[in-house]
Structure 1
Amino acid sequence: MSNFVCRASALAIAFALNSYGAQAANDLALEEILVTAEKRETSLQDTPISILAFSSERLERFGISDLGDIAGLAPNVTITPFPNSRSSLVVFMRGVGNNDSQSTQDPAVGIYLDGVYVARSIGLTSDVADLERIEVLRGPQGTLYGRNTTGGAINLITAKPIDDFAVSQQFSAGNRGYWRSLSKIESGKVGDFAGKISYLESGHDGWVENTGAGKNFGEEEKQAGRAAVRWDLSDALAIDYAYDFSNIDGPQHFYQVTSSPGNALPNTSAERSDSGSWNGGVEPSATEVSGHSLIASLDTPWGVLKSISGYRELAEDIVQDYGGGSPGFKIRVGIEQDQFSQEFQFVGEHGEAWRYVAGIYYFKEHGTEKETDTVPVQTPAPLPANPLVPPSVTTVTLEDRQIYSTSEAYAAYGQLTWSPALLDHRLDVTLGGRYTADERAARKDSAVYFTGGEQSDSATWSNFNPSLTLDYSWTEELSTFAKVVTAYKSGGYNVRSTEDGFTPPFDEEHMVSYELGVKSSWLNNRISVNASAFRAEYEDMQLQQITNNATIFLTDVFNVGEAQIDGFEVDVMAVLMRGLTMQVSYGYTDADFIEYIDQRGGSQTEGENLANQAEMPYAPEHNYTVGLEYMRAVGSASSPMMLNASIDYQWTDERYGTAFNDDMSGFFLDDYGLVNARLALSDISLGRLGLEVALWGRNLTDEEYKVHSISLGAYQAGYFGEQKSYGVDLRLSF
């Protein structure tokens, strides 16, 4: 399928370019894409960052309502649900990320909602009721976005209130009981105020039938809402307030047993199972996320002064069973977290020669976690051993582990761009820097694997991250940039550690990235080609280590050593012919350990460099996406309508879910490709109402692929992605 798409795209380009002279260029230009990646609104083509932007139209076309939905659409970006909780996401960029979701460990890819940092990965699959745009910034963003962006940053930007009154209602339905309702009301400008309310509900029956007690696996109901108000106090001062919430209810996904030595466990199959059960019946899980943001913007003669205040909180209770119907590893976790952040930001310019960004930042969070694990214990068959009678498996429930944590961070940053008149303002020299101080404290209570019952500790880290970028515009259509960027991720504690692994804390990690890039448009902006090549030097890497597959719930985090990551991205947009647009994005990553020191106490290889045996986790070598979209006006001249048809193919190479383990095969994920399509007819006039009808399908070839795989000593388990799905959207607007 992938070769077919590539050949078809190449033929379409050739045909379109040969016929270019016969068509008016001004009808074939790509639309300008505006982004706020550098804290000011700029054209994507003028922003010296490897960036992908998903507009509201593209979000609708791909059916994107939460961050997890962009998995596979942004090359060199890997997004995978965390095994314990489907609401949590494991996000990697260019081979850099964190495959855990503890409140005492920070991610390596920063997530921002309207400029407010979202500290925890829990709840990232929650629906955002009114997204306007998603920006994916690949590569370290240590200067403007700060700590924990060694891999990159993702901006979720919601739609702001508009000046006109408007109402819209969308209904969706599909197979496996899928339904969705999205309601929006715009108040329009009333005096100095404008507001909007968005409310969303959705649900589906899951795609693995539960043959035991309880609901189907993966079955869920979601609710999400957002209220936003804008107050224009004067021509210079505006205040934006927003409140959002999201709830997810339903059982976790089904982990089926994919491999079991001697078939000791029943129902073992490496192929996708459409049904299954949990030992003891399915238990529900629930996630609640909410937040407030208050943004004040003041225009001054020197620039815009902005205050960004944010408060967010979450609560989650989850139950996950990895046994596939047999007694197996089961985990119960209850998590609560709240965070407050305050940022003051100043963005301005002086003539054509100088542009500047400066700010100070404060962040604080509290977290609690309670975890109970049930683990399998294998009992040998009685002697004399009978090979036809496999050993029996029973379970043992461990006592609760309780974790309490706090973290606090302070930062000051600045970025100055000089565009000298000597070179006709074609050259931009940007120098930036950020100083960050972090403090973290953690306490862990456990009477099972801690002889003292309780351990607690606190530590501080600080770092200065400079950056340098040179950007030269050769013409209005062609620019190149070179940059050296640094970033760091703070140290922390592992609350799932062995007794010896909790203290001292693991240390901070560092990243230095060298990058060359080009931004270009051709044939009167009919084609845009953007590309970046990079080398990242990764030091003091923080990596989870499973010390014993029989106790997979106990892991230690070590600063194992160094890695080198080379790669590139190419993003192409082209108008092939009037109404037909193609998008191709390709990413290549060559990520290798240089040093991986085995620090497992008592290991036969303790102290040795195991770099040649380790794999960089979630770092597929190749991934790409190809999309074709066709638009044309249909109907009569007095009642025109718009037809929109699109098809997309996304492919991801094989990868591993862990860096080093005695059983690497249990964490291996094979390559896969997905085909999605949508056909919509919009601008259907119903008096004062407008109607849009759309048919859509996802994974149309019914690809069978694992989303996650895990080794649990006595067996391996994994869960598979959703089968072919299809449905219809109806939207009324007034």
Structure 2
Amino acid sequence: MNQSAKRTFPVSLLSCLIAAAVPAVQAQVQQTESQELEEVIVTAQKRAQSIVDVPLTISSLDGQTLKDLGIDRFDTLSDMIPGLVVQQQSVNNNGYVIRGITSDDGSAPGAARVSVYLNGTDVSRSRASYFEVYDMERIEVVKGPQATLFGTAASIGAMSFITAKPQRDFASELTVGAGDYGMRKVEGMATGGNDTVQGRFAFVSRERDGYVENTSGEADLNGYDRLAYRPSLRITPNDALTIDLIYNYDKAEDLGTAFVSQNLLFTDDAALSVPDNDILGMDDVGVDRTVKDFNATVSWDIDDHLALTYIGAWRDYDSLEAFDADGTAFEVLNFSEEATGDQISHELRLNFSGERLNGFVGASYFQEEAEQFVGFATEEGLFLSCAGALAAAGIESCNTASTTLLTGGLASALPYESYYANGADNRSLNLFADISYQVTPDLEATVGARWVEEERESSYRSALPLSSLLSAQGIDSDLFFGLLLNTQGETIDGDADDSAVLPRFNLLYSLNDSVNLYGTVSLGQRSEVVDMSSGVKSIIPAEEITNYEFGLKGRLEEVALDYALAIFYQDYENFQVNVVDQDSGQIRTENAGSATNTGIEMDLRWSVSENLMLLANAAYIDAGIDDDADNGIYAGNQFRLQPEVTGALSYLYERPINADLIFTSSGSWSYRSSVYFDIENRFEEDAVDLLNLRAGIAANDYNWSLTLAASNLLDEEYIMDAGNTGDAFGFPTYIQGAPRTLSLEFSKRIGAF
């Protein structure tokens, strides 16, 4: 299919979607009868609670809601969670923004700001934190420092994913889908067992061609090819003991990311490639990523008031991405990044409950070994001319004949390859406790703390050969003129120890049976960074956060509406920023000084009628580096990827057509105000709003369904990032967001649901 055909949306199809969904929604809004609103249960505080009774700002989406809204990727979660923005350059490079603060550091020594938890295990390392969202029980997103509950990586919040567990009764489901840009999807699960052993197997396979045409002769860009599967086993020898064993496998062989120059945005005319080489790990732009993990959870109900839980996990990842960083047809800035690592963790927790006292105490141990290897390939003459280093010799910028001219025709090309790598060996021991006491029937007080002892070891190595062209001119230097440390392949390392106590204090007051007020004071910390890239040990101090929060949660029974409102203020010391070195292109962490963050968030869930559910959220955030001379060049700047305003409105609708069929529809509209893509505030994008719609038919018992879906229905043109690695060399690049895409899915269920 050609590009013009791909971007054509038949008017008749759009009319069908609107005609089917909008009048039906309007009809339901006019109904006045009160409806039941199902209670939302969450486990953020390590025990099952109604979301209204949790003195935290928390959002939760169950597995059925995720399916109904078509949420099957991390970035689409942004539509449903106030104050959350997920940026995905590629499956290898994700940015999580909670309350305006970004967590996307890919270096091995760097620490995450957002905890990503999978079945109770920390998987926050940037290059391994993405996984396919399928067969989920629910997702919980908690805001503010949550070290007591989720560890030091939760310095600004946590995203917790709980997968669907095996069940005794047999059930199975299969979904197949197809769409434009060659989209293909197969997803399924099967579960069953007996009173003692239950099993479940779930999988998903997703493919889509690239939506940015690549004229270099290689594959089109910004597509994906992913396979994931998850076998799980639940063993219940008696009513008091439950053992869950879960294995996850995620494989991505995605088409490459289109880093294009500004003049090529939305032209479908990229020309990106990498040369044949020995350093990048692949000869094409693309991603090859494998993540494997195993989780064992043992839950023992000792008696009615005590429960013991053990969670042990192992995780291994190897993620390689090669990319053309200059955004032009010249093969001048060719990079790859291979992030590898393995993690082992253990947690033992004792929960206790009573009429007035609830809480937990526990200990955990986490060990991680990681490395980030960055390869670079270019052609010497082309690189030097593009850098302007040959202007004195009368050779214009990016002259592909530069090497021929400088060698008098003796050589037409001189390939050049170099690399740098940073590594980390991190260990942490945690002791934690969290106690809630019912002071009066209306007032609950919670005190919690986590003591952390960390050992962090960082390493660095690099190899930058001398340039043949520069040597011929009597200059013994690499292509970077010595601006990047060259250890000639030798590894240098350094280490540091640190400890911290991170408390939280919460008050929850019940105004009545339907309204709760809460207040929170909590401390968070992003671990210090041991940086060896200069050749000597440099310690970037730990980032410290103090969070103050006040919230209101309630339910209007007469109209079946849940609501939550939160106001917060966060104070940062030693705010860590990641910047691209303007001389070498290497990403480094800097201390930007003090910063503050103030905002308000709102979340609504309204069961308008038996057939219609409305969901709405909004957030306003005023955040940035404090405008203080002591904060240096970033003083007064807005945080990267931080919109001042975000909001979304979604609906879920169904209505009987006849005795056998049901009409189904869902949709979401999301909005974010303008953002900067760099802490220097040089690259900005205006406000963006996106509309998604789904409509279909299903059997009255839901054992089959057929759904037509449209993402970015209005074909909004927007960008996901700007600047990037190429900017350090005078070649700023841009990544465009996905255009309108259409798909058709058929699902079939068998068994007990």
**TM interval, short-chain normalised:** 0.7 to 0.9
Q: Matches of 1:249 and 1:98 in 2, distance apart?
A: 24
Shift of 1:223: 0.8
- Specify whether residues 282 and 208 from structure 1 end up closer, same or farther in structure 2 by C-alpha distance, changes over 3 A only: farther
Whether the 8 Å CA contact 1:684–1:692 is kept in 2: the answer is no
Indicate the SS of the match to 1:276: coil
The equivalent of 1:400 in structure 2 is: 419
Whether the 8 Å CA contact 1:411–1:436 is kept in 2: the answer is yes
The equivalent of 1:225 in structure 2 is: 229
Q: Matches of 1:725 and 1:197 in 2, distance apart?
A: 29
Shift of 1:414: 0.7
Q: Matches of 1:596 and 1:282 in 2, distance apart?
A: 46
String of CA shifts for 1:383-421, please: whole Å, max 9, x gaps: 8989xx76647897442223332100110111111113x
The equivalent of 1:694 in structure 2 is: 707
- Specify whether residues 356 and 332 from structure 1 end up closer, same or farther in structure 2 by C-alpha distance, changes over 3 A only: same
Indicate the SS of the match to 1:712: helix
When the two structures are superposed, what TM-score results if normalisation uses the length of structure 1?
0.87
1:558 to 563, 587, 590: 590
Q: Matches of 2:25 and 2:174 in 1, distance apart?
A: 38
String of CA shifts for 1:149-195, please: whole Å, max 9, x gaps: 11100001100011201122110111111011112111232x41000
The equivalent of 1:240 in structure 2 is: 244
The equivalent of 1:74 in structure 2 is: 81
Shift of 1:12: 12
2:527 to 463, 466, 490: 490
- Specify whether residues 595 and 635 from structure 1 end up closer, same or farther in structure 2 by C-alpha distance, changes over 3 A only: same
Greater alpha carbon shift after TM alignment, 52-61 vs 358-367: 52-61
Matched, 1:365 2:368: yes
- The correspondence of residues 150-229 of structure 1 with structure 2, limited to 5 A, is 150-189=155-194, 191-229=195-233
Matched, 1:621 2:644: yes
Shift of 1:447: 3.5
Matched, 1:99 2:104: yes
String of CA shifts for 1:574-632, please: whole Å, max 9, x gaps: 233442221110011100322667xxxxxxxxx76345453211211001001122222
Matched, 1:306 2:309: yes
The equivalent of 1:57 in structure 2 is: 64
| Structure 1 residue identity aligned to 2:218 | G
Matched, 1:536 2:581: no
String of CA shifts for 1:690-722, please: whole Å, max 9, x gaps: 211111110000000001111334232111011
Q: Matches of 1:725 and 1:534 in 2, distance apart?
A: 37
- Specify whether residues 396 and 715 from structure 1 end up closer, same or farther in structure 2 by C-alpha distance, changes over 3 A only: farther
Whether the 8 Å CA contact 1:50–1:138 is kept in 2: the answer is yes
The equivalent of 1:469 in structure 2 is: 506
Q: Matches of 1:118 and 1:374 in 2, distance apart?
A: 32
| Structure 1 residue identity aligned to 2:564 | N
| Structure 2 residue identity aligned to 1:298 | W
Whether the 8 Å CA contact 2:656–2:700 is kept in 1: the answer is no
Indicate the SS of the match to 2:530: coil
Q: Matches of 1:415 and 1:608 in 2, distance apart?
A: 36
- The correspondence of residues 695-734 of structure 1 with structure 2, limited to 5 A, is 695-710=708-723, 711-734=727-750
| Structure 1 residue identity aligned to 2:669 | Y
- Specify whether residues 457 and 524 from structure 1 end up closer, same or farther in structure 2 by C-alpha distance, changes over 3 A only: same
Indicate the SS of the match to 1:251: coil
| Structure 2 residue identity aligned to 1:699 | N
Q: Matches of 2:666 and 2:148 in 1, distance apart?
A: 38
Shift of 1:202: 1.5
Indicate the SS of the match to 2:67: helix
String of CA shifts for 1:72-108, please: whole Å, max 9, x gaps: 43221121125xx433311121122333212211110
Whether the 8 Å CA contact 1:380–1:391 is kept in 2: the answer is no
- Specify whether residues 137 and 482 from structure 1 end up closer, same or farther in structure 2 by C-alpha distance, changes over 3 A only: same
Shift of 1:65: 2.5
- Specify whether residues 372 and 470 from structure 1 end up closer, same or farther in structure 2 by C-alpha distance, changes over 3 A only: same
Indicate the SS of the match to 2:201: strand
Whether the 8 Å CA contact 1:87–1:126 is kept in 2: the answer is no
Greater alpha carbon shift after TM alignment, 171-180 vs 555-564: 555-564
- Specify whether residues 278 and 151 from structure 1 end up closer, same or farther in structure 2 by C-alpha distance, changes over 3 A only: same
Q: Matches of 1:158 and 1:382 in 2, distance apart?
A: 59
The equivalent of 1:337 in structure 2 is: 341
Pairwise CA RMSD: 2.7
Greater alpha carbon shift after TM alignment, 578-587 vs 367-376: 367-376
Indicate the SS of the match to 1:31: coil
Where does structure 2 lack aligned partners over 5 or more consecutive residues? 1-20, 276-282, 403-413, 465-483
Q: Matches of 1:608 and 1:159 in 2, distance apart?
A: 47
Whether the 8 Å CA contact 2:458–2:531 is kept in 1: the answer is no
- Specify whether residues 669 and 330 from structure 1 end up closer, same or farther in structure 2 by C-alpha distance, changes over 3 A only: farther
Q: After TM superposition, which residue ranges in structure 1, 4 or more long, deviate above 4 angstroms?
A: 11-19, 380-386, 393-396
Q: Matches of 2:631 and 2:78 in 1, distance apart?
A: 36
Q: Matches of 1:473 and 1:49 in 2, distance apart?
A: 14
Q: Matches of 1:584 and 1:671 in 2, distance apart?
A: 19
Whether the 8 Å CA contact 2:391–2:397 is kept in 1: the answer is no
Whether the 8 Å CA contact 2:516–2:554 is kept in 1: the answer is yes
The equivalent of 2:546 in structure 1 is: 512
Q: Matches of 2:510 and 2:255 in 1, distance apart?
A: 53
Indicate the SS of the match to 2:626: strand
Indicate the SS of the match to 1:207: coil
Indicate the SS of the match to 1:59: helix
Shift of 1:654: 1.4
Shift of 1:450: 2.3
Indicate the SS of the match to 1:543: strand
Matched, 1:39 2:34: no
Identity over the aligned pairs, expressed in percent?
21
| Structure 2 residue identity aligned to 1:168 | E
- The correspondence of residues 606-685 of structure 1 with structure 2, limited to 5 A, is 609-636=632-659, 639=660, 641-660=661-680, 664-665=681-682, 667-683=683-699
Aligned pair count reads 679
Matched, 1:140 2:153: no
Whether the 8 Å CA contact 1:109–1:149 is kept in 2: the answer is yes
- The correspondence of residues 116-135 of structure 1 with structure 2, limited to 5 A, is 116-135=121-140
Q: Matches of 2:95 and 2:740 in 1, distance apart?
A: 24
Indicate the SS of the match to 2:632: coil
Indicate the SS of the match to 2:594: strand
String of CA shifts for 1:272-315, please: whole Å, max 9, x gaps: 53553325474332000011011111102232110000111101
- Specify whether residues 304 and 551 from structure 1 end up closer, same or farther in structure 2 by C-alpha distance, changes over 3 A only: same
